[in-house]
Amino acid sequence: MDRPDNDEYFMEMARLVSTRSTCMRRKVGAVIVKEKRVLSTGYNGSPRGTRHCEELGCIRVQMNIPSGTRHELCRGVHAEQNAVAQAAYFGVSVNGASIYTTTFPCSMCAKILINAGIKEIVYDEGYMDDLSKSLLDETDIKIREFHPSKQRLPVLRALYSDPHYYIQKRG
């Protein structure tokens, strides 16, 4: 297999990070990078030291809350938020960095990324959040949808579509 380019490398890391998610609805991973170096990672799940939705059930499912709405009614912290918080916890500035995320940021995450000084967002899957897109349009943040190289696309699709890929590789 050919060596992955930087986008493929960091997005694959974000996909791996997403496997740590404890969210019952959507597994999301994020990797913050500056000068081709990983600064921080994050995945969506309950705050440190609290019980996970896997144990308690999903409040959003129980209340029939549609995806993309009422983000405040969730026990979980989003992947992008966790990545910024982890960097802050360890005193690492993310100002001027890029974030690779498996899903386009919601409006709450967009606001945090704007204020943290993120300069670029590379995302893999779209997400319906008009406010997020509107807020980001008002900034100088570069936004790119991830597109693997044509040579590696079949290999990456096979890896990403196999739910046991990461387990097999670790085993």
Active site residues: 80
Q: How many other CB atoms are found less than 10 A from the CB of residue 10? A: 21
